[in-house]
Structure 1
Amino acid sequence: MRTLIQKIHIEEYNSFACRTYKTPDFETAWHKHLECELILITAGNGTALIGDYIGDYKKGDIFFLSPDLPHWFRKSNQETVGSAIVIHFKKDFLGRVFLDLPELKNISKYLDNKDTCIQLQNELLISIEELIRKLEYTEGIDRLLLLITCLQIISVSPEYKIITKAFDAMTGGEENSVIEEIIDYSFKHFLSPISLQEIAGITSMSIPTFCRFFKRNIKKSYFEFIKEIRIGHACKLLRETNKPVLDICYESGYNSWAHFSKQFKDVSRITPSQYRKQHIEA
């Protein structure tokens, strides 16, 4: 049985870990760890599942995750290469006394955020990418200073988006295996109708038990989860293809334009056409 808790290896001569994870090491299960994580995607694209958040990730994206936050970066095409530079560190890796210094109040406050993930934006994204790429090949005190600089710049910048907050994971090893099975099945079949009887059946649970289990662990109903996967797929098609919006509706698992349009607006707060226009102009 695979465990939810991932053990992060930190060399004895370092206070934190920074390394590249590339296929097949990039492909990890739904997991969490005691360390904070700063991750720069360097190759590949797909869907990020972080706490109760579901959304796209692509090359150049940077996420900061607080400790004990379950996550999974799932490639859109399993034949492609996924890669990321990942920094793992305990939030008190500098020592609690050091973090209590008044000069570090912004960093300390930032690290104390519980079960939160942010996605970096705009100029902040560019600045931190440069530092992370440099940090991977730096040693000694300069390595430590680069990480502190990253945290300081992030902590005083408004250029980030909170994508999940106060997500209290309740899964253990056996429950994690069931969650993985549900997520894997959902990604393979989300373009087709999935009934509660069908998805509950693969877990050998009754429908009421399955609904309670899923809501307790993912913090949303199963149909909300499927909706976000389908709309995420539609957003990708709107950004990356010139297909008519009606065709994208049908290719995203919907057989009703009205239903698709309503669900798209529920998730994205704008219409499909407005979403496409925003990304063309960007």
Structure 2
Amino acid sequence: MKTLIQKIHVEDQYSFACRTYRTPTFETAWHRHPECELIVITEGNGTALIGDYIGDYKQGDVFFLGSDLPHWFRKSRQDAVGSAIVVHFLKDFWGPGFLALPEMHVIAGLLKNDSTGIQLMGNLSAEIDLMIRKIENTEGLERIQLLLNCMEQIGSSEEHKVITMAFDTIAGREENIVIEAIIDYSFKNFLNPISLEEVASSTNMSVSAFCRFFKKNIKKSYFDFIKELRIGHACKLLRDTDRPILDICYNSGYNSWAHFSKQFKVVTKASPLKYRKQFRTG
């Protein structure tokens, strides 16, 4: 896992890239690239790590990622198949001055801030999903028109949520390898008790150096990161199973109901019971 800045290949007959990435090319660890990205998940599920955001992803989800935003769509199981159609484009591929046109103000506003991540919702998600699929199978000027339509609709709609913004990282390749190792270690161990001494030693850092390194690169404390992994796991169990909530608490890395309930409310803004009821009623 040595890739930090992914090199996006664009065929000579195109001005931007759009292609399907399916296992094994879907498996790109923590990385970034100067291109903006529109992605629709076409197969598989897992955890999306986008900037400082941690959340589930599943088939049909659509995300827009600004340029240079680090991300990793990590599959729920290593032996599962992951697949997505991904559009990669540079903000200025239309040529200098194009975004300054008055007719482009909605798209220019959407592209203004680098390192911003958006998840599309509802009808907007379904509409952009269809257009991304068309882009992959379209030639000529219509391809650019479809991308413009995508960006115009996203910028004009309220059916999306900003999941991370103004995420700035100066990590180089060596730092990126350490970040990937920490994330990999965390996914393997987050359901068990974890000490800072334990995870710091896995990176050959002192505890204080590890805490500074993690906060600088992920923009949150390590225990906040673990908390979000555990609560994300609990949310999945609440949505996908009928297991008792107390059982889910103890199977999500917690040994105290009071602590679990408090942290669940901090992350989701709802109690575990309310979260399950909201999901079941749509």
Provide the TM-score with structure 1 as the length reference: 0.99
1:69 aligns with 2:82: no
Q: Distance in 1 between matches of 2:111 and 2:77?
A: 34
Counterpart in the other structure of 1:24: 24
Aligned partners of 1:101 and 1:221: how far apart in 2?
42
The answer (yes or no) to whether the contact 2:238–2:276 under 8 Å persists in 1 is: yes
For residues 219-238 of structure 1, what are the alpha-carbon distances to aligned partners after superposition, in whole Å with 9 as ceiling and x for unaligned? Answer: 00000000000000000000
1:156 to 2:166 alignment: no
Matched, 1:219 2:219: yes
Equivalents in 2 of 1:237, 1:13: separation in Å? 46
Counterpart residue type for residue 21 of structure 1: Y
CA distance in 2, matches of 1:54, 1:3: 20
Q: For the residues of structure 2 that align with 1:206 and 1:270, how far apart are their CA atoms?
A: 36
Q: Is the 8 A contact 1:37 1:67 kept in 2?
A: yes
How is 1:93-112 mapped onto 2 (pairs within 5 angstroms)?
Answer: 93-112=93-112
Map of 1:223-238 to 2, 5 A cutoff?
223-238=223-238
CA contact (8 A) 2:42 2:60 kept: yes
What is the letter of the counterpart of residue 116 of structure 2? T
Matches of 2:227 and 2:26, distance apart in 1: 26
Query: Any conservation in 2 of the 1:3–1:172 contact (CA below 8 Å)?
Result: no
Asked whether the 8 Å contact 2:3–2:29 carries over to 1, the reply is no
Counterpart residue number, 1:277: 277
- Cα distance in 1 for partners of 2:178, 2:164 equals 22
Q: Which residue of 2 aligns with 1:206?
A: 206
Q: Find out whether 1:42 has 2:42 as its counterpart.
A: yes
Cα distance in 1 for partners of 2:258, 2:230 equals: 15
CA distance in 2, matches of 1:237, 1:182: 24
Shift, 1:113, TM fit = 1.6
The amino acid of 1:18's aligned partner reads C
Q: Does 1:113 align with 2:108?
A: no
What stretches of structure 1 of length at least 5 have no aligned partner?
Answer: none
RMSD: 0.8
Alpha-carbon distance in structure 2 between the residues aligned to 1:108 and 1:215? 31
- For structure 2, the residue ranges without an aligned partner over 5 or more in a row are none
Query: Following TM superposition, by how much is the alpha carbon of 1:252 offset from its aligned partner in structure 2, in angstroms?
Result: 0.4
- Say whether the 8 Å CA contact 1:110–1:155 is kept in structure 2: yes
Deviation, structure 1 residue 120: 0.2
Q: How does 1:119-130 map to 2 (within 5 A)?
A: 119-130=119-130
Q: 1:110: Cα distance to partner?
A: 1.0
Q: Which amino acid aligns with 2:122?
A: N
Other structure's SS at 2:20 match: strand
Matches within 5 A, 1:49-64: 49-64=49-64
Kindly state the Cα deviation for residue 95 of structure 1 after the two structures are TM-superposed: 1.2
After superposition, give the CA deviation of every residue in 1:11-69 in whole Å (9 maximum; x if it has no partner).
11100000000011101010000000000000001000000000000000001000011
2: distance between equivalents of 1:3 and 1:16? 21
Shift of 1:96: 2.4
Aligned-residue identity in percent? 66
Tell me the residue number matched to 1:11.
11
How far residue 208 of structure 1 moved from its aligned partner, in angstroms, is 0.3
TM value normalised by structure 2: 0.99
